[in-house]
Amino acid sequence: MVVLAKGELAQISLPAAHPPVADVPTVDLSAPAGPEREAAARALVAACEENGFFRVTGHGVPAQLARAAEAAAAAFFAWPQEEKEEAAPAVGYGSKRIGVSGDLGWIEYLLLGVTPAGGAVPVTFASSSTLPCAAAAAVGSSTSSTPAGPLRGLLEEYTVAVRRMASAVLELMAEGLGLSGGGALARLVTREDSDCMLRVNHYPPRPAAEGGGGAPSLTGFGEHTDPQIISVLRSNGTSGLEIALRGGEWAAVPPDVDAFFVNVGDTLQVLTNGRFRSVRHRVVVNSERSRVSMIFFGGPPLGERLAPLPELLGDGGRSRYREFTWAEFKNSGYKTRLAEDRLSPFEN
Ligand code: GA4
C-alpha cells in the first residue's frame, strides 16, 4: 500500500496527458552469426544512438522463471503493510520514497544489490529488525549469507538469467561498435565485484477521484536517467512507462510481457563519448490495474575507472567527460534529485 498525505498526493499529481505511442526498435538476440547477427548489431547501435532504448526478443530468459519471480513479488506486495515493513531489511522494501532527496511516487518496491554468483543484498535505509516468522519463511532469513526462500530465491535465479542476457546485449553492442576488446564491455557487468542491482516496482492502481469524476494521473516514478551502464526491464501487461524522445517529447511504451526493454544508462553514454543517449524515462500511473516491473541495473565494479573508450574518440576526438570511478559517480549521483542531470559535473 502507498499512503500519501494530501500535500504529498498533490506533489505527484499530473495533468492528464495522452502521449503518442513510442515506435520501439526490436533487437533479436538469437539472430544467427552472419548477416542476420550483423543486422541485429546495427539495429542495436542505431537504437542506442536514436533514443537509447530498445526491445529485446530471442533473449533466452525462461518465461516461466520471469512469471514466477513476478508472481512471488506480487504476492509479497499483497501482504499487510506492517509485515512488509518488518520484512524491509531482508528484501530492501520501500514505499513512496525514492532515494534520499525527497522524491515521491505512487510506488512500493524491493531493491537488492545482486552479485554475479546469484547472491542478493537488500538495499534499505531502514534499520534492521527481526523478521516475523511468516515473513522469514517467505523471503528468506535476513541473517543468512545465502538467503533461501521463495521470493529471494526466485529473484536471485531471475537475476542470474537477466544478467546473462545483459552480457549478451553488451557483446552484440561491442560487435556493432566494432570494438576490439572482445567481451570487455560485457565483463563490466559480469565480474565478481560488478555493482549491479535488481529493483521490483509495484505501482498500485490509481486511486479513485474524491467525489467522483475522472481520477488524476500520478507520478509512479519521476523522470530520470539510470546511472549504470544498461538497465533491463520486464513488466506485466499494465502500461505506464514513458520515454523522452530525442526532441524531449514523451512517448508511451506499450507493455510486452514476452520481451525485455533495455535502457542506455549514464555510464554507457560516457563510455561512448555521448554517441549513445542515456534515455530519460518515467512511469505514469493512470490505470485501474497494478503495474509490476522488474529491472536489472548493470553497473561496473565500484573502483572501475570510467571514461570514453579510446576507440570511440576518433582521430583527434575530444573526450566530453573526465575520468571518474563508478564509486565517485554513484556517490555524487545518489545525493541528487531524481530528475537532475547527473553527468554535467563530469563533463569536460
Ligand atoms: C534510478 C535508477 C535505479 O532505480 C536506482 C535509483 C536510486 C534509488 O532509488 O536509490 C536513485 C536513482 C536511481 C538515481 C538518483 C538517486 C539514486 C534515487 C535517486 C534520487 C536504484 C539507481 O541506481 O539510480
Q: What pLDDT score does 309 carry?
A: 96
Is residue 226 within 6 Å of ligand 1 at its C-beta?
yes
**At residue 209, does pLDDT exceed 90?**
no
Q: At 149, is the pLDDT very low, low, confident or very high (cuts 50, 70, 90)?
A: low
Nearest CA to ligand 1 atom 9: 99
Return d(Cα 298, Cα 320) in angstroms, integer: 22
Give, using CA atoms, the residue closest to atom 11 of ligand 1.
Answer: 99
Give the distance, in angstroms, between the CA of residue 68 and the centroid of all CA atoms in the same chain.
19
Q: Which of 6-20, 98-112, 178-192, 262-276 has the lowest mean pLDDT?
A: 6-20
pLDDT tens-digit series, residues 44-99: 999 999 999 999 999 999 999 999 999 999 999 999 999 999 999 999 999 999 99
Residue type, 124: T
Ligand 1 centre to CA of 148 (Å) is: 26
Overall average pLDDT of the 323-345 stretch: 97
- CA of 289 relative to ligand 1 center, distance in Å: 25
- pLDDT tens for 176-202 read 999 998 899 999 999 999 999 999 999
Q: Is the pLDDT of residue 137 over 80?
A: no
pTM over 0.90: yes
- Closest ligand 1 atom number to CA of residue 337: 20
Amino acid at 338: L
pLDDT of residue 127 exceeding 80: no
Once rounded to an integer, what is the mean pLDDT over residues 100-129? 80
User: Across the chain, what does the average pLDDT equal?
Assistant: 91
> Do the beta carbons of residue 192 and residue 117 sit within 8 Å?
yes
- What average pLDDT does the segment 266-286 reach? 97
Q: How confident is the model at residue 334 (pLDDT cuts 50, 70, 90)?
A: very high
In this prediction, residue 115 carries a pLDDT of: 83
What is the spatial distance between Cα 263 and Cα 246, in angstroms, rounded to a whole number?
14
**Nearest alpha-carbon partner for 80 in 141, 31, 18, 134:** 134
Cβ-contact 300, 194 below 8 angstroms: yes
Residue of the nearest CA to atom 23 in ligand 1? Answer: 227
* Residue ranges of E strands in the chain: 13-14, 26-28, 53-57, 93-98, 103-114, 120-122, 196-203, 217-224, 230-235, 241-244, 250-252, 260-264, 281-285, 291-298, 305-306, 324-325
ipTM computed for the complex:
0.99
- Whether 99 is in the pocket of ligand 1, judged by its Cβ within 6 Å, is yes
